[in-house]
Amino acid sequence: MKDITSIPTGVRPSSGAATFAGKRIWELSSARGEVRLAAPEDGRTPAQPPPMVVRASALLTACLITALATLSCLPGAAVAAENAPAVPPLTTNSSPSAIVAVSTSAKGRTYSRMLFGGFLEHFHRQIYGGIYEPGSPLSDAKGFRTDVIEAVKELRTPIVRWPGGCFVSAYHWKDGVGKDRQRSFDKAWGVEDPNTFGTDEFVEWCRLAGLEPYICGNAGTGTPEEMSDWVEYCNQTQGRWARLRMAGGHAEPFNVRYWSVGNENWGGHEIGAKTLQEWGLFVRETVKMIRRTDPSVILTAAALGDDWNRNLLQHAGNLLNMISIHGYWDGLWMDDHPSGYATCMMRSTQPEESIVTVERLLDSTGFRGRITIAFDEWNLRGWHHPGVETGFGPDQIKARDRNDIAATYTMADALFSACFLNSCLRHPDTVKMANIAPLVNTRGPLFVHPKGIVKRTTFHVMSMYANLLAPRVVKATVASDPFKHGNGTVPAVDAVATCDATRKDWRIVLVNRHPSAFVNCGLQFDGVAASGACRATVLAGDAPEAFNDVERPARVIPQQVELAFQSGAIALPPHSLTILEMTRPPAPEHLLANGGFESAGDKEHPEDWAPTQWGEGAYHAAWSEDQPHSGQRCVLLESAAGADCAWMQRVEVEPHTKYRLAGRIRTQAVVPGTGCGAFFNVQEVQDVKTQVITGTSDWVRVEMVFDSGPHDSIQVNCLLGGWGRSSGKSWYDDITLEPVSL
């Protein structure tokens, strides 16, 4: 045996080994108490694992043998741990540790599957030579790459945004429909577009791949009328542009539901960029025309920072369903020097900071609960496209090939993507869509070349989330040792808990950011340590820098293993994503969470509740300790001049079911004004409300009975105002929602 790497364990356990195809991969030596990497018999040197020191009990040594063999780059590895010793509970004297605590009675929220969406732009080889390659032996008769379609189906991608991106700000959709299509110069990227892939082809590709089309309109050189004409072409049964679609062989409307006004029109890099003052008015007029063409569409618009968004919401907020934000955290636009693993992990908490910033803006403008977030471009790595400021010569266009360098897309990309998705899942009421940018080629999870495809590390992350998670997310609290790099610090472990509606089936997501250390990760349900064994799917490379390429397409692939809890903990391999599959006794769930306002969400808000407002008017929303009806806290709404404001919570309900909403209200000098006063109501049921309290009153119990109608979710409001502005102070406490027995 050739001794490649030694890992001191601090113990002298029995001998053992792990094997693949009858050959030893890892050997445990009782003589020296080490785990050693065995060189293959043909003399090849295996990939060097990261240096790591693990001081642990004999159990951890045995786990290390099994885990590292299972997670090696060799696909389909069959692991056998020989002579594994019986050992005491796991201890980790110097390894990082973490505890993930889950409350089985905490409110579960159904997250949107649109979080696993994708994005395609007419850039480099995303469309032509990516999803669309007429004449390829791997394409069907219409030019669609069938291997790509099958891979996208494996990802269960629910929605794809198209055609841009920067491309769309100079794209005129009419160039890409009909039989007489002419080639046009792409001013965004400095190349010629044949226009053979246009609206008809995109919608057909989406149908073949089993996903929703999402079209982004030209708000650069385009007009509101041009965008509304595009909606007519896709969705109408009458009109000039609808007849053009029919003449092209599509008698039935495409019924494209998702539309965006513009792309990054706030930026100087964007063709037809708008000022802050121009943008809100432009979006308002565009959305007006689109809604008059098809009032059923779901609309979003390009958004950015606080002032930009305030102006947008002021002018067009009442007409929008979402606002769109973008994020790339390793900007490589001009210089392609990808950041290393540790640097990327230091940035892996930043996506959630972006989400919280927008949530606070929605709170302050009163649109929380009415407008949600579409994170419709995201990726760790920014696309490499030098020349945006100076123009694109042959060298700049050729440099785009650097996006294809396989070694760029390592476990850093995989785990950053996992942390990004975790961030979205922790905010399921506000983040309703996310689109990895792009889906194919450039920085995407799927690399497409003339002879086939390569599933990059991020592909497997997207697949694991889309295929393994349960449909509802429940709050998980993580207490983790830090992982430090340079001046940065992040928790070594990130986690999300999901379950089904019965709370019986659980899927727990665990990310170990540490590049070289196992993490002893405890898991608790309602304060009780997990026990027994469970199935798990684990993604980890043989090194943080591991990647997949044409020569080694399966170096990093998910492995299915069985994990056993020892003293309530498992050992998470370095640089890994683990999804546990667990079963527990079913548990009931309260429809409305935190109705007594005792649980903290952050320093300003009770958990599960958010302030909102209709129209203008200054108001103050606070989490109050001033004479609650019960417990330690209640919530307060206060306005001196008058406002129409509320504390709100979205609640999942059964359609066409009767419910009783009840709670307590206390008031001080409440004047109805042009509104009603203080009361409870349900946003979707405008003709029913509780008793209205005005003037000064001690705690009063009020209630209302309502039918949920066609809705599967409702917004419960604790109101001051209501269809107008009221002034004074009102407190709310002990709110309940329950079905009414017939």
Mean pLDDT for each 10-residue chunk of the chain (742 residues)? 26 28 29 31 33 30 37 32 30 76 91 98 98 98 98 98 97 97 96 98 98 98 98 98 98 98 95 95 98 98 88 96 97 96 98 95 90 97 94 95 98 98 97 98 98 98 98 96 97 98 96 98 97 97 97 98 96 98 88 92 83 92 95 97 96 93 98 98 94 98 96 95 97 96 72
The pLDDT value recorded for residue 3 is: 27
Partners of 299 in the beta sheet? Answer: 259
Contacts (Cβ under 8 Å, ≥6 apart) of 30: 12, 13, 14, 15
Domain shared by 246 and 132, yes or no: yes
350 part of a folded domain: yes
Sheet of 431-436: strand order equals 298-301, 258-261, 212-217, 159-162, 117-119, 431-436, 372-381, 322-330
314 part of a folded domain: yes
592 part of a folded domain: no
Domain shared by 97 and 123, yes or no: no
605 part of a folded domain: no
Domain shared by 125 and 61, yes or no: no
Contacts (Cβ under 8 Å, ≥6 apart) of 471: 110, 111, 498, 500, 501
In this structure, the number of other CB atoms found within 10 A of the CB of residue 108 comes to 25
Domain shared by 90 and 147, yes or no: no
The pLDDT value recorded for residue 155 is: 98
Domain count across the chain = 3
596 part of a folded domain: no
637 neighbors 628 (Cβ within 8 angstroms): no
Buried b (16+ CB within 10 A) or exposed e, 285-302: bbbebbeebbeebbbbbb
Using the structure block, give the residue that is written with the tokens 């060298």: 395
* 288, containing H or E segment: helix 276-293
Domain shared by 311 and 406, yes or no: yes
Residue 616: give its domain's CATH number. Answer: 2.60.120.260
The pLDDT value recorded for residue 47 is: 35
Partners of 660 in the beta sheet? Answer: 705, 738
Tokens for 249, please give them.
């062989």
The pLDDT value recorded for residue 742 is: 65
Domain shared by 659 and 561, yes or no: no
Q: Angle 243-319-224 (CA atoms, 0-180°, nearest 5)?
A: 45
The pLDDT value recorded for residue 52 is: 28
Domain shared by 217 and 91, yes or no: no
Domain shared by 372 and 519, yes or no: no
- The HSE-up count of residue 390 (CA atoms within 13 Å, CB side) is 9
Parent domain of 698 = 610-739
Contacts (Cβ under 8 Å, ≥6 apart) of 249: none
Q: Is 192 exposed, middle or buried (0-12, 13-18, 19+ CB in 10 A)?
A: exposed
87 part of a folded domain: yes
Domain shared by 575 and 443, yes or no: no
> Rounded CA gap, 714 and 592, in Å?
10
Coil, helix or strand at residue 582: strand
Contacts (Cβ under 8 Å, ≥6 apart) of 538: 67, 70, 71, 558, 559, 560, 561, 573, 576, 577, 578, 579
Domain shared by 82 and 171, yes or no: no
Domain shared by 135 and 284, yes or no: yes
> Rounded CA gap, 432 and 158, in Å?
12
594 part of a folded domain: no
